């Protein structure tokens, strides 16, 4: 008997339907467990980033954490937060992250030091999150922090400007992120697609050489720019700490 080398159309359609169904299930499960996936993939690295930034903050600082996620990375640094009497206002536009963060903050014993809110950095009422002083006037933040979140945002320049407006005159913006050191067509293709598999928005590839331009467009200046000790540092990618202040 002859063996047909041409697959039946219905067989092909069935296979495609099965693949599509499988991908749909993966995406659905990813959305259901997005907070857990975030912690599994991200927190081990970003906890180190938080440690570097929190160590630099003066005692009793008021910090705006832009893109706090599940707050797990912050919680791993709870001893520093408590010892330095830091106050943290964390925001994230992903509601499942904030729901998880509320529990993480309580379990870490940080309920008196950390508040989390489902807000965007572009929210015109963001200033209402600033604590009020004894004179019933809103405090300004001593620092703002973007832990891998700046270039995920649709308008990083606007995000920097908004953050700067919420800071005291001497306030600084801290950015920790993995930056690409040299062109990688594969990374440019794959990185935006990871959101559909992991539910984590890694943004697009951002080169270290682009950072200065973003900061200058926001009317600010880079005060410090260095690799983060103990984090990724290869010829292709480097995790960096960038400190930004008034121009």
pLDDT tens string 146-196: 999 999 899 999 999 999 999 999 999 999 999 988 766 554 554 454 444
Sequential DSSP letters for 70-108: TSHHHHTTHHHHHHTT-EEEEE-S-HHHHHHHHHHHHHT
Q: Does domain 34-246 have CATH number 1.10.10.10?
A: no
Sign of the C-alpha dihedral computed for residues 32, 116, 243 and 54 taken in this order: negative
Tokens of 34: 């997005």
Question: Residue ranges per domain, the chain?
Answer: 34-246
Q: What value does the mean pLDDT take over residues 70-74?
A: 95
Residue 201 confidence (pLDDT): 47
* Parallel/antiparallel/unpaired status of strands 167-180 and 141-147: parallel
Sign of the C-alpha dihedral computed for residues 239, 84, 160 and 104 taken in this order: positive
| Whole-Å CA distances, 21 to 16, 32, 80, 107 | 8, 17, 46, 38
Kind and range of the H or E element at 11?
helix 9-32
pLDDT tens string 109-156: 999 999 999 999 999 999 999 988 666 778 899 999 999 999 989 999
Kind and range of the H or E element at 136?
none
Q: Which of the two residues, 137 and 8, has the higher pLDDT score?
A: 137
Residue 33 pLDDT grade (very low, low, confident, very high; cuts 50, 70, 90) = very low
Average pLDDT value over all residues in the chain: 83
Residue 182 confidence (pLDDT): 76
User: pTM for this structure?
Assistant: 0.78
Residue 206 confidence (pLDDT): 84
């Amino acid at each position: 008997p002859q063996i047909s080398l041409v697959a039946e159309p219905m067989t092909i359609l069935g296979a495609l339907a099965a693949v599509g169904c499988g991908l749909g299930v993966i995406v659905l499960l990813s959305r259901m467990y997005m907070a857990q996936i975030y912690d599994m993939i991200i927190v081990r690295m970003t906890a180190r980033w938080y440690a570097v930034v929190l160590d630099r903050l003066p005692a009793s600082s008021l910090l705006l954490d832009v893109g706090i996620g599940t707050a797990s990375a912050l919680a791993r640094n709870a001893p520093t937060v408590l010892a330095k009497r830091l106050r943290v206002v964390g925001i994230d536009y992903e509601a499942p992250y904030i729901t998880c963060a509320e529990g993480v903050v309580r379990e870490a014993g940080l309920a008196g030091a950390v508040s989390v809110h489902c807000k965007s950095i572009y929210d015109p009422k963001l200033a209402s999150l600033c604590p009020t002083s004894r004179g019933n006037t809103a405090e300004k933040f001593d620092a703002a922090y973007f832990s891998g979140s700046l270039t995920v945002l649709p308008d990083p320049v606007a995000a920097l400007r908004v953050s700067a407006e919420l800071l005291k005159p001497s306030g600084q913006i801290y950015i920790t992120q993995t930056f690409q050191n040299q062109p990688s067509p594969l990374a440019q293709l794959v990185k935006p697609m990871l959101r559909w598999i992991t539910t984590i928005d890694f943004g697009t590839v951002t080169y270290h050489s682009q950072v200065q331009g973003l900061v200058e467009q926001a009317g600010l200046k880079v005060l410090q720019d260095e690799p983060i000790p103990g984090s990724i540092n290869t010829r292709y990618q480097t995790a960096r700490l960038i400190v930004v202040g008034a121009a």
